[in-house]
Amino acid sequence: MPPVPLELRFLLCQRRVLPAGQCDFSPVAYKASAHIVELNNMFGQIQSPGYPDAYPSDSEVTWNITVPEGFRIKLYFMHFNLESSYLCEYDYVKVETEDQVLATFCGRETTDTEQTPGQEVVLSPGSFMSITFRSDFSDEERFTGFDAHYVAVDVDECTEREDEELSCDHYCHNYIGGYYCSCRFGYILHTDNRTCRVECSDNLFTQRTGVITSPDFPSPYPKSSECLYTIELEEGFMISLQFEDIFDIEDHPEVSCPYDYIKIKAGPKVLGPFCGEKAPEPINTQSHSIQILFRSDNSGENRGWRLSYRATGNECPKLQPPVHGKIEPLQTTYSFKDQVLISCDTGYKVLKDNVEMDTFQMECLKDGTWSSKIPTCKIADCGAPAELENGVVTFSTRNNLTTYKSEIRYSCQRPYYKMLHNTTGVYTCSAQGVWMNEVLGRSQPTCLPVCGQPSRSLPNLVKRIIGGRNAEPGLFPWQALIVVEDTSRVPNDKWFGSGALLSESWILTAAHVLRSQRRDNTVTPVSKEHVTVHLGLHDVRDKSGAVNSSAARVVLHPDFNIQSYNHDIALVQLREPVPLGPHILPVCLPPPEPAGPAPHVLGLVAGWGISNPNVTVDEIIGSGTRTLSDVLQYVKLPVVPHAECKTSYESRSGNYSVTENMFCAGYYEGGKDTCLGDSGGAFVILDDASQRWVAQGLVSWGGPEECGSKQVYGVYTKVSNYVDWVWEQMGSPQGLGELQLLVVQVLSLLFPVKGISKDKEKAGKLYDDRGEKNSGKLSNPIKFLSSTQNTYLVCGIPKFSRNLLARIINGRPAQKGTTPWIAMLSHLNGQPFCGGSLLGSKWIVTAAHCLHEVPDSEDVTLRDLDLLSPSAFKIIMGKLRRTQSDENEQSLSVKQLFFHPLYNPNTYENDVALLELSRGPVLNDFVMPICLPQRPPEEGAVVIVSGWGKQFLQRFPETLMEIEIPIVDHHICREAYAPLKKKVTRDMICAGEKEGGRDACAGDSGGPMVTLDTQRGQWYLVGTVSWGVDCGKKDRYGVYSYIFHNKDWIRRVTGMSN
């Protein structure tokens, strides 16, 4: 094992790592005959000759101490007693280096304090120290001499180095016995191991304008560097260079630019070198491709240079905007590659080559001509409105105009049809050339049948069907006569039943009417070919005004029991919809409630059943004949309490069961009842609130006695138990018609109020609508915006609806009020720098990277960065134009910043931050919060991104811009960025198009990416603009901070639920 170096052994012994036997550093013993003593230990002791006895006269001893390079020598005295003299000319101790006297001492330490060392420590500048003791010829007082100690100490070359030529450029790192240098991020250590240079040979500029500077400008540029800047533009451009006032490159008074310089190569020409303090005059290179070489040597502290370049080309003629149109940007001159966007005023479309479009782009060509002629602006034309089924359309504008702002009105054929959603039916021709309704948008209204409202009023007093009275035509317009002819049944192959019209295509009846009449107990529906339905029929002898229809489908309830008649309900779908009129109208269905009709309520039943009260059921069945009444008859019957009905049938002989799916109606004394041929007919009750007739029951069965006998109640299927099943068979509640499901309930809205809202001066009507709906929610729900405490904020429902978008890179201006949640982050001087979104009443969500400086290395953390102070910027809500003031804008101050705890400023992971406002904005039509997501968006879902970032001309737009782009599969996005060594993590979400053309860009950071929840009718926040490479280029998707991934953190910080 090699020996341990002396300096290392000294340190190891100080820390008690080595055993005591290896730590003997005793000083060399003094020998009287030696006048020079060489010492190379790391520490030791020096004493005057004979110490502690008196030192001899006329003696001189020198101790030369040498320690390794990188160390210094510290000397201090424990005892000092020498003869005192003026300037120490007699006896003295002298401490010196090879070329410098460090100190001279003499005298007694108790009396001669100015000449003795006392507590002073002598420190050598290097690794050598010489100590000389001299005494003269006399020593009368017997002075005892001195006792001194020395120790080697490490030199901090980083702070104590005097040789500037050997100092580090950027960072110096000291270690025991030496030091080393390192450089800032982006720099490389030169071969001299102390100078920092930059690697700057791959700078390529392809934009038409730009700024180029020396590294670290305006701070001193790095030494020993060679930078190459290339400007490469399309042929046809000429590049001009303009150096700015600050120009400082090391020079020589006699020789031209021998140290540092700039050279410019433009084709075969080489311009320069340039150096000194005077900037070159403007340079027109006459070339579309140039190289700028900047070189520096290993010395100097000069500030460098800055230049701006601009590409020019042939100018194109000045453009004149089309009538009702505008040109953006509108400039006095245009040159090669300048692009303009032609758009039209609201209500007009760009027309080019007979093709309508929202915008049209033109470009100035190399030869000084435009790529196309100026298009015209044509007023938007919605065209002839589509016809409305069961309705008509009329023009409200003179001359039947169909252009922008023209109006039409749809109306349904009353009184048989009613418009769904209670809309006015008024449509206006929109600026996009589409007929639009304020409730339905571009969707056409729907005319649904009106139920339960016969064109003739039913009388209050009626008799009976058994001995009852004839119905007048139109009193029961829902009544259907069902004829079944089944040749498989012997001997009776034809029978009749009744039903009720539910819509233009559906009949409700009893299941036993449509069961194939077999001798066994199987439940098999008759074939649809054997069923004929007659509607609008009054007198069976005169069918001139009736409508006959065959069946397209026969549906029995799957649980129908032929023995107990439980679940005795069925549906017939007609082959063709029947036309509605005064004699053919549907009946209403009850709400799906198990209670059914209340006891003792009176209802009506109509039918063509057996009208002879002296014919028994057995006689009819036995004789094989069926006698129908010629004219439709009806009777009024009361609902019988369920318990009374059950008791009535339980007292009879036979197996009769009145289940919870049935109810009874009739009189105890008899005389009024339904009978054979009435089966399946509707038991209807008038709803007092709506004045509509509701089918509460279907004629099902009765006792074996004569129809209308005493204590024999008719049994009816309770329809309210089967409304859900009816919906399921017909497809949806809408298939039943606007009011087929009649829900009569009271909705009470309680509004506790405390205090007065100062921003409201008057109150208006909250809600005005009839309580007739075909689903469990109101068609015009009321939502509130309020700044008071006991109300809930509305999010994501702007008052102004947006149109379909074109293409922030190739996007289109946002319409006023369509993005009320967007926030502008602005410096106090009014310069915007990022976007954000309003959450709740006083929170802004934005990108975390908007709130700190750009990192200068790859391994920084948030605590290493210079963060924006809340007082250094402001939030502006209600903003539409970038630099000009808007009448609806509100300026707000920031109280506190919250960064995501896992935010990584190097990779942009969890790039999200929250800003708490000092006070919340006043919510109105132009300022509203966005909703937090309830679920992740679907892949391919379309999102909208908003911002004031750079556009296709690399200019910032004056107006807020929007784009509509799809969500991109995470794997596809990750693979697209893998070659660039960019990580797309799970807290990020991507959007854009593979071919490019539409993207967010510089200045959009932190802005919202939103999508519409079509079920809720609300917009919610999908992401915030985070990062990307080459805005709008092919295979360069925009990367956004994924809000759904971070919503739990947002809710914890803000205390919001949604």
pLDDT at 55: 92
pLDDT in tens, 861-888: 777 788 888 999 999 999 888 888 888 8
CA 632 – CA 465 distance, rounded (Å): 9
* Model confidence at 1027: pLDDT above 80: yes
In this prediction, what percent of the chain has a pLDDT beyond 90? Answer: 41
**H or E segment to which residue 973 belongs:** helix 970-977
CA 619 – CA 622 distance, rounded (Å): 5
* Model confidence at 759: pLDDT above 50: no
Burial pattern 499-526, b for ≥16 Cβ within 10 A else e, equals bbbbbbbbbbbbbbbbbeeeeeeebebb
CATH topology of domain 469-736: Thrombin, subunit H (2.40.10)
Instruction: Kindly indicate the confidence band of residue 14, based on its pLDDT and cuts at 50, 70 and 90.
Output: low
Q: What is the average pLDDT across 536-550?
A: 87
CA 568 – CA 719 distance, rounded (Å): 10
Q: What is the DSSP letter of 370?
A: B
Count of Cβ atoms closer than 10 Å to residue 394 Cβ: 12
DSSP assignment of 262-309: EEEEETTEEEEEE-BSSPPPPEE---SEEEEEEE--S-----EEEEEE
pLDDT in tens, 584-597: 999 999 988 888 89
Contact 879, 886 (CB under 8 A): yes
Mean of all residue pLDDT scores within the chain: 82
Residue type, 955: R
CA 874 – CA 1019 distance, rounded (Å): 25
Which residue(s) pair with 896 in the sheet? 916
pLDDT in tens, 252-282: 988 889 999 999 999 899 999 999 999 999 9
Domain range summary for the chain, segments of one domain joined by +? 6-155, 200-312, 315-379, 391-449, 469-736, 812-1054
**The domain made up of 6-155 is a member of CATH 3.40.50.300:** no
**Token digits for 1007?**
């802005």
pLDDT at 790: 38
CA 81 – CA 854 distance, rounded (Å): 65
Q: What is the average pLDDT across 561-575?
A: 94
Q: How far is CA 514 from CA 21, 497, 520, 627, 698, in A?
A: 116, 9, 15, 19, 14
Annotated active-site residue 849? The verdict is yes
**Token digits for 26?**
């005793």
Q: Residue 324: left (phi > 0), alpha (psi -120 to 50), or beta?
A: left
Contact 226, 293 (CB under 8 A): yes
* Model confidence at 26: pLDDT above 50: no
pLDDT at 102: 94
Residue scoring higher pLDDT (538 or 860): 538
pLDDT at 884: 81
* Model confidence at 622: pLDDT above 70: no
pLDDT at 767: 41
Annotated active-site residue 864? The verdict is no
Sign of CA dihedral 559, 562, 566, 571: positive
Q: How far is CA 169 from CA 201, 295, 409, 540, 647, in A?
A: 21, 17, 81, 112, 108
Instruction: Kindly indicate the confidence band of residue 980, based on its pLDDT and cuts at 50, 70 and 90.
Output: confident
User: Whose CA is closest to 68, among 122, 2, 4?
Assistant: 4
Q: Roughly how many angstroms between the first and final C-alpha of the chain, as a whole number?
A: 72
Catalytic residue among 849, 852, 900, 1045: 849
pLDDT at 308: 94
pLDDT at 781: 43
Catalytic residue among 709, 1005, 1026, 1041: 1005
**The domain made up of 315-379 is a member of CATH 3.40.1230.10:** no
* Model confidence at 1037: pLDDT above 70: yes
* Model confidence at 96: pLDDT above 70: yes
pLDDT at 706: 56
pLDDT at 789: 39
Judge if 315-379 and 391-449 fold alike in CATH terms: yes
Quote the CATH superfamily of domain 391-449. Complement Module, domain 1 (2.10.70.10)
* Model confidence at 900: pLDDT above 70: yes
Q: What is the DSSP letter of 21?
A: G
Contact 822, 1008 (CB under 8 A): yes
* Model confidence at 132: pLDDT above 50: yes
User: Strands 447-449, 304-312: parallel, antiparallel or unpaired by DSSP?
Assistant: unpaired
pLDDT in tens, 662-672: 999 988 766 55
CA 519 – CA 522 distance, rounded (Å): 9
CA 656 – CA 651 distance, rounded (Å): 9
Instruction: Kindly indicate the confidence band of residue 104, based on its pLDDT and cuts at 50, 70 and 90.
Output: very high
Position of tokens 């009544």?
479
**H or E segment to which residue 316 belongs:** strand 315-316
pLDDT at 666: 87
Q: How far is CA 987 from CA 194, 538, 858, 1001, 1053, in A?
A: 42, 71, 20, 20, 18
3-state secondary structure of 700: strand
Contact 308, 244 (CB under 8 A): yes
Q: How far is CA 576 from CA 438, 503, 531, 573, 974, in A?
A: 34, 12, 14, 9, 55
**Token digits for 209?**
């304008």
* Model confidence at 568: pLDDT above 80: yes
Nearest 5 degrees, angle CA 871-CA 875-CA 877? 160
Which residue(s) pair with 410 in the sheet? 393
Which residue(s) pair with 131 in the sheet? 63, 95
pLDDT in tens, 71-89: 999 999 999 999 988 889 8
Position of tokens 């450029």?
169
Annotated active-site residue 623? The verdict is no
Q: What is the DSSP letter of 24?
A: -
pLDDT in tens, 138-194: 767 889 999 999 999 988 878 776 666 778 888 888 888 788 899 887 788 888 888
pLDDT at 551: 95
Q: Which pTM does this prediction carry?
A: 0.43
Quote the CATH superfamily of domain 812-1054. Trypsin-like serine proteases (2.40.10.10)
Sequence-distant (≥ 6) Cβ neighbours of residue 121 within 8 angstroms: 74, 75, 76
In this prediction, what percent of the chain has a pLDDT beyond 70? Answer: 81
Instruction: Kindly indicate the confidence band of residue 1032, based on its pLDDT and cuts at 50, 70 and 90.
Output: low
Catalytic residue among 112, 169, 911, 999: 911
CA 286 – CA 411 distance, rounded (Å): 71
CA 439 – CA 442 distance, rounded (Å): 9
Q: What is the average pLDDT across 507-511?
A: 96
pLDDT in tens, 417-470: 888 776 788 999 998 889 999 888 888 888 888 888 887 776 543 333 444 578
pLDDT in tens, 117-126: 988 999 998 8
Instruction: Kindly indicate the confidence band of residue 748, based on its pLDDT and cuts at 50, 70 and 90.
Output: very low
> 204-208, 279-283, 621-625: which has the minimum mean pLDDT?
621-625
Q: What is the average pLDDT across 291-310?
A: 91
Instruction: Kindly indicate the confidence band of residue 91, based on its pLDDT and cuts at 50, 70 and 90.
Output: very high
Instruction: Kindly indicate the confidence band of residue 704, based on its pLDDT and cuts at 50, 70 and 90.
Output: low
CATH topology of domain 200-312: Jelly Rolls (2.60.120)
575, 580, 583, 586: CA torsion to nearest 10 = 80
Q: What is the average pLDDT across 183-211?
A: 84
User: Whose CA is closest to 665, among 713, 596, 705?
Assistant: 713
Count of Cβ atoms closer than 10 Å to residue 871 Cβ: 10
Q: What is the average pLDDT across 901-916?
A: 92
> 44-53, 56-65, 849-858, 961-970: which has the minimum mean pLDDT?
849-858
CA 763 – CA 423 distance, rounded (Å): 24
Instruction: Kindly indicate the confidence band of residue 997, based on its pLDDT and cuts at 50, 70 and 90.
Output: low
pLDDT at 199: 78
Contact 148, 121 (CB under 8 A): no
Q: What is the DSSP letter of 927?
A: B
* Model confidence at 29: pLDDT above 50: no
Q: What is the average pLDDT across 210-216?
A: 91
* Model confidence at 569: pLDDT above 70: yes
Contact 501, 495 (CB under 8 A): no
CA 31 – CA 939 distance, rounded (Å): 94
CA 23 – CA 19 distance, rounded (Å): 7
Q: What is the DSSP letter of 60?
A: E
Instruction: Kindly indicate the confidence band of residue 326, based on its pLDDT and cuts at 50, 70 and 90.
Output: very high
* Model confidence at 617: pLDDT above 50: no
Instruction: Kindly indicate the confidence band of residue 797, based on its pLDDT and cuts at 50, 70 and 90.
Output: confident
**Token digits for 859?**
């391994």
Instruction: Kindly indicate the confidence band of residue 9, based on its pLDDT and cuts at 50, 70 and 90.
Output: low
